[in-house]
Amino acid sequence: MGNLIWHEYARFVAITATVYGMWAGFWGLFYRKFFWDFVGGTLRDPGGIQPPPSAAPFIMIIVKIPLLQIFGVLMAFFLLALEWPLPLMKKLPIYRNLVVRIVLLFFQAFINILYYQVSSRGNRQQKALV
Amino acid sequence: MGENWFQREFLSPKRLAFNAFFYGTHFIIFAYGWYSQQTNQKLAGLNTLKWSVWSSRGAGLVLAYDGGLILLPMLRNIIRVIRPHLTWLFPADENIWFHRQVAYSMAFWAMVHTTAHYVNFINVERTQIRKQLALEIHYTQAGGITGHFMLLVMVLMYSTAHQKIRKQCFEAFWYTHHLAFFFMIALYTHATGCFVRDSTDPDYSTVFPFYKVGHCLGYESWRFIIWPGIIYFGERIWREVRARKATRLSKVLVHPSGAMELRIIKPSFKYVAGQWLFVQIPELSKLQWHPFTITSAPEDPYVSIHIRQVGDWTEALGERFGVGPSVVKTMTQAAIKGKEKGLGQGDFVEIDTVSSAITLPAVRIDGPYGAPAEDVFKAEVAMLIGAGIGVTPFASILKHIWYRQKRGTLGRLRRVEFFWICRDSPSFGWFQSLLQEVEAAQADPNFLRINIYLTQKIGEDMLWNIAVNDAGAEYDPLTLLRTRTMFGRPDWDSIYSRMRSAVEGGSYLPGSKSQLKTKVATYFCGPPVIAKDLKEATNKYSSASVDFTFAKEHF
């Protein structure tokens, strides 16, 4: 029956993960939460978990200003344009570059495990690297 | 094809009815799930989470519905039995299509459900309506664990089921799709743990399931949707049992075109013309089942399938019989040469198990499945149309018609028009020899008419070959049939209009005028493009006295 062409399969997984990243990043704008805040955090009732002081930088870019989420969504748009692909992307040299993809996907996975919405799916992206 | 999405989905009555029913029921169930959560006073605590909990419960109920539906089109044996009785209601041949529609719907509602729950859990943590972290709900409770697991399985199953992946590596799709077993178990247990309850904490107890169920107010949908799962599991076991019944490979014939004909004897195997089966050869692969059309008639003392060497598995089978691709190539070349010299195409070769070292391997067959073509005998005229590889089921049907002709049990059937549209004839040499037999056996020259259309562009050599050999020869130079080959694509419009006027004029079926209505049944197997043209032609030319019907087969 032929052989599985791994990079074609990886493309589908990457597209799935990227679309999910986009969707989750969008929700992350409204429900801002640093995923790892339970590490050393204290639970208040009501109020939920209060992150430890050591997490302050993350709180700054996730909760105070949803910088990571915005960045995650923009990057997801770029990756989708690269993978789907957008017709104009086909002409660019990075379209044919595997290393760029690996770096971008790693980076996306890294961003995505930092905030609440995507954390559960971030690890899926590792698979797309095959 | 000027058909756009709107025309396809909304302007054909059957599809519109399906869409209205399918998406209508989804929406109603969603609305009910939403409403019954929102208005339940006992769940006032959960309802403080507002729209997110309402939509998560509505979507959850819809997902249960989809989970119940998704296995229904896969109950192959049950479909085979009920299909003839339900063709008027839904096209049971489209079971895979339906399976896909349910899957798409499932993906959408999973998105709604998951998104809503992510909002739910963050709010539970913030308001501490239950003394839990979002993280605990996600990764320590049954709902969260099975939910994430199902999402992971869905990513794997959906991505490997993509048409492109299925084509390049069927195994990746096939094996991954068996994750469905774990998916279904996760689905049925997803709502355990009593998280829809009217108390803050579960009412714990010391006996199974370690909480008192009186406070649990879930929809308990698993009680309904588990049945298709149980039936499907039972059917898989039944198929396994049936496949293990005594089966013997009695003969292997190799045709000059390279097709291998396997003649299998299995007394417990009952089928009708036009059906197909799965075959497994444990020696090659213990797990793979390959679908093939049955090419023998039910009257034959054996079940035969014709296998062309086109993939890993079929080539391995060829090697096993000592007729791998290289041997076949020389055989085919010899056959072509023989044909050019006017010697005929040569005969098939039987694999000799007595004097050579080749033994016949064990085989297992599973089936039969698919459409029986018994309806042929309920019409006066049958138009059997096969395109390309889609011609295979007609081998069995034509043979079967031939047997019934001999017995004189043709029913209403008076004439058969057989159309074969193919790009190049040599690859279907085995079918030609079968047609030769059937044609030669015809006593009434008007009963069976064979029309062959060759759509390939013809080279100059071949053109001259035809010009020289065709004139005055008794047999067609390409197919060696009495029937002449036609070149180009058939013009269905003119074929059907001529058919109608011939039937109406009474010249086609002598004595048919005494009948009120003549039924002309079209059976088609091949690509959807031709199917569409045919369907239009049958609709266009149906009149008060001639009723054209259309049926197509999948495989």
Average pLDDT across chain B, whole number: 79
Q: Do A2 and B312 touch (CB under 8 A)?
A: yes
CA distances from B465 to B452, B458, B461, B471 (A): 18, 11, 6, 10
* pLDDT of A69 above 90: no
Structure tokens at B536: 């239009």
Residue with tokens 């039987």: B350
Best of B114, B119, B159, B290 to substitute, by most chain A Cβ atoms within 10 angstroms, is: B159
Best of B50, B124, B128, B138 to substitute, by most chain A Cβ atoms within 10 angstroms, is: B128
Q: Whole-angstrom Cα distance, residue B315 to residue B313?
A: 5
pLDDT of residue B232: 93
Q: Which of B250, B260, B257 has its CA nearest to residue B318?
A: B260
| DSSP letters for B245-291 | S--EEEEEEE-TTS-EEEEEE-TT----TT-EEEEE-TTT-SS--EE
Q: What is the rounded average pLDDT of the residues B214-224? A: 80
Q: Residues B327-336: contacts with CB within 8 Å, 24+ apart? A: B328/B254, B328/B258, B329/B258, B331/B254, B331/B256, B331/B258, B332/B256, B332/B257, B332/B258, B332/B426, B332/B429, B334/B256, B335/B256, B335/B257, B335/B426, B335/B429, B336/B426
pLDDT, tens only, B238-267? 998 888 888 888 888 887 667 788 889 988
What percentage of chain A carries pLDDT values higher than 70? 88
Q: Do A31 and B155 touch (CB under 8 A)?
A: no
* pLDDT of B66 above 90: yes
Q: Searching chain B, which residue's CA lies closest to the CA of residue A122?
A: B152
pLDDT, tens only, B95-128? 888 899 999 999 999 999 999 998 888 888 888 8
Please tell me the distance in Å from B49's CA to the nearest CA on chain A.
Answer: 13
Q: Residues, chain B, total?
A: 555
b/e string for B424-435 if b means 16 or more Cβ within 10 A?
ebbbbbbbbbbb
Contacts of B88 (CB under 8 A, 6+ apart): none
Neighbouring CB atoms inside 10 A of B37's CB total 23
Q: Do A3 and B160 touch (CB under 8 A)?
A: no
One-letter amino acid for residue B63 of the chain: L
Residue B426 C-beta-side C-alpha neighbours within 13 Å:
19
Please tell me the distance in Å from B348's CA to the nearest CA on chain A.
Answer: 27
Q: Do B155 and A13 touch (CB under 8 A)?
A: yes
Is B553:B371 a contact under the CB 8 Å cutoff? yes
Q: State yes or no: cis peptide before A46, omega within 30 of 0.
A: yes
Is B287 an interface residue toward A (CB < 8 Å)? no
pLDDT of residue B343: 45
* pLDDT of B333 above 80: no
Q: What is the rounded average pLDDT of the residues B429-457? A: 73
B122, B148, B172 ranked by CB distance to A116: nearest: B122
* pTM, 2 dp: 0.79
DSSP class of residue B412?
T
Q: Whole-angstrom Cα distance, residue B58 to residue B33?
A: 4
pLDDT of residue B32: 92
Q: Whole-angstrom Cα distance, residue B499 to residue A74?
A: 62
DSSP class of residue B131?
S
Please tell me the distance in Å from A84's CA to the nearest CA on chain B.
Answer: 14
Q: Whole-angstrom Cα distance, residue B428 to residue B441?
A: 20
pLDDT of residue B177: 92
* pLDDT of B313 above 80: yes
CA distances from B129 to A46, A50, B411, B490 (A): 8, 16, 74, 72
Can you tell me whether residue B157 is helix, strand or coil? helix
Q: What is the rounded average pLDDT of the residues B414-439? A: 73
b/e string for B331-341 if b means 16 or more Cβ within 10 A?
bbeebbeebee
B472 — pLDDT class (breaks 50, 70, 90): low
Is B367:B277 a contact under the CB 8 Å cutoff? yes
Angle subtended by helix axes B528-541 and B492-505, to nearest 10: 30
| DSSP letters for B463-510 | HHHHHHHHTT-SS-TTT-SSSPEEES---HHHHHHHHHHHHHHTSSST
Is B256:B343 a contact under the CB 8 Å cutoff? no
B122, B151, B162 ranked by CB distance to A33: nearest: B122
Q: Whole-angstrom Cα distance, residue B387 to residue B533?
A: 13
pLDDT of residue B23: 93
b/e string for B361-387 if b means 16 or more Cβ within 10 A?
eebbbbbbbbbbbebbbebbbbbbbbb
Phi, psi (rounded to 5 degrees) for B46: -65, -30
Can you tell me whether residue B205 is helix, strand or coil? coil
Q: Whole-angstrom Cα distance, residue B282 to residue B284?
A: 5
Torsion of CA B142, B147, B149, B154, to 10 degrees: 160
Is B302:B363 a contact under the CB 8 Å cutoff? no
Question: Which of A89-103, A114-128, B19-33 has the lowest average pLDDT?
Answer: A114-128
pLDDT of residue B184: 93
Please tell me the distance in Å from B145's CA to the nearest CA on chain A.
Answer: 11
Neighbouring CB atoms inside 10 A of B507's CB total 10
CA distances from B411 to A77, B272, B401, B443, B546 (A): 64, 16, 10, 18, 18
One-letter amino acid for residue B317 of the chain: L
Q: Whole-angstrom Cα distance, residue B54 to residue B33?
A: 7
pLDDT, tens only, A19-45? 888 888 888 888 888 888 877 777 777
